[in-house]
Structure 1
Amino acid sequence: MEIRHLTYFKTLAEELHFGKAAEKLFISQPPLSRQIKDLEEELGVLLFKRNNKQVKLTDAGQYFLKQVDNILQELEHSKTITQQIHNNVSGTFKLGYISSTPKKLLANVLKKIQYDFPYLHVNLFETSSQRQKIALENGKLDLGILRQPIFSKQLKTLSLNKETLCIVAAKGFDFSTEKIAAANYICFNHDYAPEYYQTLVNTCHKLGFEPTIVHQSNSMHSILELVSNNLGLAVAPISVVKAMPHLPIAYMELSRKIAQTETVISYNKKSQNLAIEKFIQYLQQEARETFQ
Structure 2
Amino acid sequence: MELRHLKYFLAVAEELNFTKAAEKLFISQPPLSRQIMELEEELQAKLFTRNNKKVELTEAGKYFEKETKALFQNLERMSAKAKKIADNFSGEFRIAYISSIYSSVISELIKHLKIQFPYVNFKLFEISTTKQIDALEKSKIEMGIIRSPVQSPKIKSQLWFRDGFSLVYNKKAIQIKSENEILKLKDQTFVFFNKDYAPHYHEVLLELCAFYGFTPKIIHEANNINSIVQLVKNGLGISIVPSNIAKNNQDPEIGFMELKKVNLFTDVSLITSKEDDSEITKSAVDFLLNNISSR
Aligned to 2:156: 156
For 1:162-241, what aligned pairs fall within 5 Å after superposition?
A: 162-172=162-172, 173-175=174-176, 176-241=181-246
**Contact 2:183/2:214 (CA < 8 Å) preserved in 1?**
no
For 1:82-161, what aligned pairs fall within 5 Å after superposition?
A: 86-89=85-88, 90-161=90-161
TM-score normalised by structure 2 residue count: 0.66
Instruction: Tell me the alpha carbon deviations over residues 255-274 of structure 1, each in whole angstroms, 9 at most, x when there is no partner.
Output: 26442112110111122433
CA displacement at 1:169 relative to structure 2: 0.8
Which residue identity lines up with residue 113 of structure 1 in the other structure? L
CA displacement at 1:239 relative to structure 2: 1.7
**SS state of the match for residue 225, structure 1?**
helix
Number of aligned pairs?
208
Structure 1 position 271 matched with structure 2 position 295: no
Aligned to 2:10: none
CA displacement at 1:187 relative to structure 2: 1.0
The whole-number CA distance in structure 2 between the counterparts of 1:261 and 1:91 is 34
The whole-number CA distance in structure 1 between the counterparts of 2:274 and 2:129 is 17
CA displacement at 1:153 relative to structure 2: 2.5
CA displacement at 1:123 relative to structure 2: 1.4
> Where do 5+ consecutive residues of structure 1 fail to align?
1-82
**Contact 1:228/1:247 (CA < 8 Å) preserved in 2?**
no
The whole-number CA distance in structure 2 between the counterparts of 1:210 and 1:85 is 50
The whole-number CA distance in structure 2 between the counterparts of 1:132 and 1:195 is 14
TM-score normalised by structure 1 residue count: 0.67
For 1:252-263, what aligned pairs fall within 5 Å after superposition?
A: 252-255=257-260, 257-263=262-268
- Relative to structure 1, is the Cα distance of residues 86 and 142 closer, same or farther in structure 2, using a 3 angstrom cutoff? closer
Instruction: Tell me the alpha carbon deviations over residues 109-132 of structure 1, each in whole angstroms, 9 at most, x when there is no partner.
Output: 100100100111111110111111
Instruction: Tell me the alpha carbon deviations over residues 230-250 of structure 1, each in whole angstroms, 9 at most, x when there is no partner.
Output: 111111111212211125111
**SS state of the match for residue 101, structure 2?**
coil
Comparing 174-183 and 97-106, the one that deviates more: 174-183
- Relative to structure 1, is the Cα distance of residues 247 and 187 closer, same or farther in structure 2, using a 3 angstrom cutoff? farther
The whole-number CA distance in structure 1 between the counterparts of 2:84 and 2:150 is 32
Aligned to 2:287: 282
Which residue identity lines up with residue 174 of structure 1 in the other structure? Q
**Contact 2:192/2:202 (CA < 8 Å) preserved in 1?**
yes
- Relative to structure 1, is the Cα distance of residues 268 and 196 closer, same or farther in structure 2, using a 3 angstrom cutoff? same
The whole-number CA distance in structure 2 between the counterparts of 1:177 and 1:256 is 11
**SS state of the match for residue 130, structure 1?**
helix
CA RMSD of aligned residues (A): 1.9
The whole-number CA distance in structure 2 between the counterparts of 1:256 and 1:265 is 28
**Contact 2:103/2:248 (CA < 8 Å) preserved in 1?**
no
The whole-number CA distance in structure 2 between the counterparts of 1:193 and 1:86 is 35
% identity of equivalent residues: 29
Aligned to 1:78: none
The whole-number CA distance in structure 1 between the counterparts of 2:254 and 2:189 is 15
**Contact 1:164/1:260 (CA < 8 Å) preserved in 2?**
yes
The whole-number CA distance in structure 2 between the counterparts of 1:85 and 1:151 is 25
